[in-house]
Amino acid sequence: MTISVNNQTQEIEAQTLLSELVFLHVGEKQKGIAVAINGEVKPKSIWEACRLNENDDVLIIKATQGG
């Protein structure tokens, strides 16, 4: 199925979990990550249960340090 991740079209398997998608994009170190689906922020506590749907618009933001 087709979704958008950070404004880039991506093909993923049906029934993909949000946690799986985040792992693919960020890897093991997931501190400082915020995720929104279709403009709604999803708390990390539900990533393991949240299934993605066709045409979802996913935004993954990683905090960085700086000054």
Pick the more confident residue, 17 or 28: 17
Residues 39-48 pLDDT 10s: 999 999 999 9
Q: pTM for the whole thing?
A: 0.89
CA distance 1 to 10: 8
- Asked if 27 and 16 touch (Cβ cutoff 8 Å), the reply is no
What is the DSSP secondary structure assignment for residue 12, as one 8-state letter?
-
CA distance 4 to 40: 14
How far is CA 50 from its chain centroid?
Answer: 10
pLDDT at 67 over 60: no
Q: Which two tokens stand for residue 45?
A: 């506590």
Domains annotated on the chain, with CATH: 2-62 (3.10.20.30)
